[in-house]
Every structure is written in C-alpha cells, then in structure tokens.
Amino acid sequence: MGMQVPVSLKSGHEAIQAGLKRAMAEPGVLGENARTIARIMSGHMLREEKFALRPLGLLKALARGETPAELAEMVKLAQALRIEMPQMIDEHRQIAEALHLLASSAEAAGKPEYVALAEEMLLHAHIEEDVLYPAAVLIGKYAALIRGD
C-alpha cells in the first residue's frame, strides 16, 4: 500500500467540501462568500493532501517500527513540503479572513449552520498548522534519519 492520505483526514476534507457546497447555493452575500472560500480551498486542499497529508499515511507503520518502502519518496516529499508550506499557511490566512466574512453573513441571514461551518473550518486549519504540518515535517526528517541520508 502506497503513501495515501489517511481516510479519517480525507473524510474531514470531504465534509468541509460538502458544507461549502451547501453554503455556495445560498443566495446573496452568504453564497458569494462561500464561493470565494471554495476557490481558495480547491487548490489548497490538493497541495495539502499531496505534500502534507500523504506522508501522514505512513505514520502508523513508522510508529510500529516498520520501514516502509516509500521512505525515499517521503524524503523528496518533505523537501517539497518545506517549499510549499509558506504558501499553504498564507492560504490559511486568506481562508480565515474569508471565513470571518462567511460567519457574519451567515449570522445576518439567520443561518447558524454556516457560522458553525466557519468555526469548524478555522479549527481545522489550526489543527493542521499546530499538529499535522509539523508531524509531516517530522516524518520527513525521521525518514532521512533512518535512511542515513
């Protein structure tokens, strides 16, 4: 089994996309704000899954002390992640700004479910920056270490 985004993380992204899709269909400013977020999110999620979340697919095997066949690929991916990370973090900043607008327009439209969506997405980005991105970086460093690079 190759390096794949863990199913739990993949379904988190799918749930966000489903929520955004519903918000995009809302009339007026609320729908517009949701569409702005979706535009940033589509490229962001692709980059994130490729560079940060796929390495996490090897985390359990590494924690069990196994030596997965994908270690060399992992080291390359970690180098790419270092290059991509500033952009991914900048996208989080743009997304957070847009989420605050989404939350206020949802509030004004009496749609608390989209206020909750905005809060959930802000937390999602914090978890990525606090835990998942650093874990992906560490996996790359650990892969280089056990390969003896």
Positions that interact with Fe ion (CB under 5 A):
48, 128
**Residue with token string 């199913």:** 7
DSSP string, 74-114: HHHHHHHHHHHHHHHHHHHHHHHHHHHHHHHHHHHTT-HHH
Please state the closest distance from residue 28 (CB atom) to Fe ion, in A: 27
Please state the closest distance from residue 94 (CB atom) to Fe ion, in A: 11
Please state the closest distance from residue 51 (CB atom) to Fe ion, in A: 11
Please state the closest distance from residue 148 (CB atom) to Fe ion, in A: 33
CB contact at 8 A, 128 and 60 = no
Task: Centre a 10 Å sphere on the Cβ of residue 38 and count the other Cβ atoms it contains.
Answer: 16
Q: Which is nearer to Fe ion, 26 or 128 (CB)?
A: 128
Nearest CA to 54 out of 148, 143, 117, 146 is that of 143
